[in-house]
Amino acid sequence: MTERTRRTRGTALPYLLIGPAVLALCLALGYPLLRQLVLSFQEFGLAQQFGRPPEWVGLANYRELLTDAYLWRVTARTVTFCLVNAAVTMVLGVGLALVMRAMSTPVRLLTQTGLLLAWAMPVVASLTVWQWLFDTQYGVVNYVLTSMGGDFQGHGWLLRPLSFFFVATVVVVWMSVPFVAFTVYAALTQLPGELLEAAEIDGAGVVQRLRYVILPTIRTVLLVVGLLQIIWDLRVFTQVYILQEAGGSARATNLLGTYIYRLGIGGGDFGTSAAVAVFMLALTVVLTAPYVRSMLRQERTV
């Protein structure tokens, strides 16, 4: 065997090893995506579920959606909810990671255990607890706020859109902060102590060390976590849907995820629902593109 042959085999081996996994991933993700794209160009309702062939309507579903004012209200609501949740989650998660870095070992382990339990709790189970906390008649939140002198006796948190999204934000952030905190804390443990010592010797205070040493060093991790957080918060469904079923007004609180569900499963209009899903995918690409470009730029400078 010549040196060139060995070199060629050595180069091809990694691709052969990951080939089956890539093929399985393409089949698992590619087929549903392609099927959804085709469905968005069809009229597919209840009749098609019982055997009638779907009718090809081309861009009719998209034209109907893009001229629908309600879709744009839902889109604006979804983007706002996503960005607010992602920003609050990142601030709290990074702050908690920095605090954990300064904790003693027993306190840090206790804190990490609590975060892990909150993160591992099933969504439906945690939402049941949150519904009781914000219950109109027997909720602990109303009781505490009323005891502090506020006028919250019988306050319906889920009846008004603003307070509904406040509750949804509390739930989503509470479930997302542990991931950010654990990931950023893991990055902070790899931070060279010599950098911080040198900055401290040079007279840098806590804020200067955080701004000019810590955050730039873990910037890549922050970009990845921020990107994932935006994707997850844009696709929020379970929390909002369950809160809507608990008493919220669906039309006034729909996000794109719940809107897609109610169009398809609830209304039987699967063609339009698929078009909204494709629109949501495009929106996700638009929102995450700046983060991806920043990450690629960061990779080139390393």
- Give the pLDDT confidence score for residue 251 in this predicted structure: 85
Q: Which two tokens stand for residue 139?
A: 């909720």
CB atoms within 10 A of CB 182: 19
3-state SS, residue 42: strand
Q: Which two tokens stand for residue 101?
A: 């870095």
Q: Which residue segment(s) compose the domain that 139 sits in?
A: 42-301
Whether 34 maps to a domain, the answer reads: no
Distance CA(136)–CA(27), nearest Å, equals 47
Number of independent structural domains in the chain: 1
Whether 18 maps to a domain, the answer reads: no
Q: Which two tokens stand for residue 96?
A: 């908690």
Query: Alpha carbon 168 to chain centroid distance?
Result: 13
Residue-by-residue pLDDT tens, the chain, 302 positions: 455 555 555 577 778 888 888 888 888 888 888 888 888 898 887 777 777 788 888 888 899 888 889 999 999 999 999 999 999 999 999 999 999 988 888 899 999 998 988 888 888 888 888 888 888 888 888 888 888 887 788 788 888 889 899 999 999 999 999 999 999 999 988 887 777 778 777 777 777 887 778 888 888 889 889 989 999 999 899 899 999 888 778 888 999 999 999 988 888 888 889 999 999 999 988 888 888 787 777 766 65
- Give the pLDDT confidence score for residue 295 in this predicted structure: 74
Whether 10 maps to a domain, the answer reads: no
Whether 63 maps to a domain, the answer reads: yes
Distance CA(64)–CA(43), nearest Å, equals 12
Torsion angle, CA of 114/118/119/125, rounded to 10 degrees? Answer: 160
Do the bridges between strand 42-43 and strand 55-56 make them parallel or antiparallel, or are there none, so unpaired? antiparallel
Whether 105 maps to a domain, the answer reads: yes
Whether 129 maps to a domain, the answer reads: yes
Contact (CB, 8 A) for 136 and 154: yes
CATH code where residue 294 lies: 1.10.3720.10
How many angstroms separate the Cα of 8 from the Cα of each of 4, 13, 17, 21, 50? 6, 9, 15, 22, 54
43: enclosing H helix or E strand? strand 42-43
- Give the pLDDT confidence score for residue 14 in this predicted structure: 79
Closest-CA residue to 234 (of 70, 84, 94, 92): 84
- Give the pLDDT confidence score for residue 180 in this predicted structure: 94
Distance CA(45)–CA(83), nearest Å, equals 34
Whether 26 maps to a domain, the answer reads: no
Whether 224 maps to a domain, the answer reads: yes
Q: CB-based contacts of 10: which residues, under 8 Å, 6+ apart? A: none
What pTM does this model have? 0.84
- Give the pLDDT confidence score for residue 87 in this predicted structure: 94
Q: What is the DSSP string of 153-216?
A: TT--TTTSHHHHHHHHHHHHHHHHHHHHHHHHHHHHHTS-HHHHHHHHHTT--HHHHIIIIIHH
HSE, side-chain direction, 13 A CA sphere, residue 230:
20
Residue 55 phi/psi, 5° resolution? -95, 130
